[in-house]
Chains A and B, each alone.
Chain A
Amino acid sequence: MAGGEQPPRPTDAELEILAVLWNTGPATVRQVHEAINQRRQTQYSTILKLMQIMAEKGLVLRDEEQRAHIYKAARPREWTQRQLAGHLLERAFSGSAKALLLGALSAKKATKSELAELRKLLDEYAKRSK
């Protein structure tokens, strides 16, 4: 297990595979290939090759107990986000870039108590309209 050492920065193609693994959880090469195929045509062998290299680099962990090997991302998504962005992430969404973004949610996150309150508001409304 490559836990002690830090895996290197993933390339774009590797990131794409990691993205699938983060989304779906541990998966076989075939499952990853199917997910990526929804976006663009790829060869199964390309994905297989990539994922074997990633396992060597320590980007993904391979579970070899079953016949079809199961892969999972070595690091959580947030970790890689930070690795990619440095402080960019914080800056991009709470700093100056925020001024240029438009989104359904504001860049500031709601706190736990605000979320609870929000939930309550919705529940009350649902109850009342029944």
Chain B
Amino acid sequence: MSVQEALGWALIHSIWEGGLIAGVFGVILLSVRSSRIRYVAGCVAMFVMLASFILTFVRFLPERGSAAGTLARITLPPWDARPLTGGNFDRFPDLGILIPRLTPIWIWGVCFFYLRYASGWLSLHRMRQRGVWHAPDYWQRRIARLAAELRISRPVLLFECLLANTPVVVGHLRPAIFVPLGFLTGLPAAHVEAILLHELAHIRRADYLVNVCQRVIEGLLFYHPAVWWISHVIRAERENCCDDMVVELRGDAYDYASALSTLEQQRSTAQAAIAAGGGNLMKRVQRLLYPKQPHSMWVSVAGAVILMASTAMGLAAWHGNNHNPTHVSKQTEQTVNDPWQKWLNEDVVYIISDEERAAFERLKTDPERQHFVEQFWARRDPTPGTAENEFKEEHYRRIAFANDHFAGKAQGWRTDRGRIYIKYGPPDEIDSHPSGGSYQRPDSEGGGTAATYPFEDWRYNHFEGVGSLTIEFVDTTSSGNFRMTLDPKEKYKKP
């Protein structure tokens, strides 16, 4: 399995994983009213989504990272990857076929979102450069006092900013609050202080940092609606948490709510509102004034639907690419009933070119396919014109040989040895260690003696494109299932 495929499967699995996480999160939302707990639960849910995505990806990565690396460096003729993944494709055509397309789309999507955030960051940077003034000393002293009240140890700077149209916090290590021009003088001092306390609460809670992390995860899992939903809940609860802190400190919800409302009023008269349905202020004010509100019905319905759907999808997806090889081959043997499919995916799977495969798959009728098969062999006949096709005979002999000699749990032609044998013919020399045991290590592998698994070295004197080449097969499970490896250390038993 290549990195790309692993990524593809991780993407597919993350759909149901995320759904499940969102479902659990939904249940928590239903049972908990405290904004702080809801916020923490949201952050945890988001982090778990990222972690499960990464874990799934790692799980699907090739188990032998070192072998894959070597394989890429030595320019071996490309192994036909199909027989390894064929099982998946046969059994789960819809998902498997998506994989090669998914990864590029995903990468473009991630780039898009990260570029957007980067450009946002740049324009923020520009905002801080023109038309920004330190707030009057009076307010600087005031904000320092308020910061101390919230036990913020970092110095907080207060700027008046021409380009801001609402008070905002920017920065984590050197946090700064930007307020619109006229904000400090245009509102009653108590209101200004309440709003500034809200911004300081953001700084106290390290919200800027969390928000950046949130955006990073959003960008990675942008295709998942649950991520956007959870992120949305986090944002809403974050404001609620800050509101709560202000009310706790000042003790008057009504005053604070009217401060928010006045601020919004001021902003809206300064410039005509562009978009309708703006903001969550209404909900927040409602929450401030009337803290106990019943949960809305749709949350529970949506939660239940998401839970069920993602469980179903999870089962289907795991069913779709169960990685137990014996499981896969058994299933494949059953499903390949069509003789043409059998010809394509078994008889000639190692030797048919991609163009030929594509051409064959386009054929509609049996006579056409019959003709194609005849042509296929005729093209490879070393002695055209004679009745015998030595190539075809040799090919079927190799398959029969592989099935006779290399069969384990899987059919002989499906094993690594079978594949190499069918594709490249009998090796010039085989160095066989069928029972492993003690082995005189060559100096290049560390010297001395070492216990090994059963292994075989196949030597080809004239390997196409490479010259002489030795391929090693190791049976680490002692079950007759020899696997090809390019890592000479593979055969040594771990002490």
Contacts and interface: CB of A to CB of B under 8 A. Distances in A.
Contacts of B285: 118, 121-122
B281 A118 contact: yes
Interface residues of A, number: 49
A23 B126 contact: no
Contacts of B195: 104
A16 interface: yes
Contacts of A96: 116-117, 119-120, 123
B264 A110 contact: yes
A121 B282 CA distance: 9
Interface in A7-64: 12, 15-16, 19, 22-23, 38-40
A101 interface: yes
A40 B181 CA distance: 17
A2 interface: no
Contacts, number: 185
B107 interface: no
Contacts of A95: 120, 123
Task: Say what secondary structure dominates the interface of chain A.
Answer: helix
B333 to A, nearest CB: 52
Given A16-B133, A102-B202, A129-B254, A109 B267 contact: yes
Which of B160, B166, B263 has the most chain A CB atoms inside 10 A of its CB? B166
A76 B31 CA distance: 51
A98 interface: yes
A100 B133 contact: no
Contacts of B282: 110, 114, 117-118, 121
Given A77-B181, A109-B268, A115-B268, A101 B280 contact: no
B279 A15 contact: no
B354 interface: no
Contacts of B265: 115, 119
Contacts of B198: 104
A99 B277 contact: no
B311 interface: no
Contacts of B270: 78
B493 to A, nearest CB: 53
Interface stretch (B61-69, B205-213, B369-377): B205-213
Nearest to B257: A122
Contacts of A81: 131, 162-163
A103 interface: yes
Contact of B211 (A78, A92, A94, A100): A100
B274 A104 contact: no
A91 B273 contact: no
Given A92-B163, A96-B120, A99-B120, A106 B170 contact: no
Contacts of A115: 261, 264-265, 268
A55 B253 CA distance: 47
B138 A77 contact: no
Contacts of B135: 39
B297 interface: no
Contacts of B254: 122, 125-126, 129
Interface string B76-117: 000000000000000000000000000000000000000011
A58 to B, nearest CB: 19
Contacts of A119: 261, 265
B199 interface: yes
Contact of B134 (A39, A104, A121): A39
A108 B124 contact: no
Contacts of B166: 93, 103-105, 107
B281 A106 contact: yes
B273 A112 contact: yes
Given A19-B162, A112-B268, A118-B261, A103 B167 contact: yes
A102 B208 contact: yes
B72 interface: no
Nearest to A35: B136
6 contacts: A39-B137, A84-B162, A91-B123, A104-B242, A107-B166, A118-B285
Q: Lowest 3 CB-CB distances: which A-B pairs, in order? A: A96-B120, A108-B278, A97-B120
Interface of A: 12, 15-16, 19, 22-23, 38-40, 77-78, 80-81, 84-85, 88-89, 91-112, 114-115, 117-119, 121-122, 125-126, 129
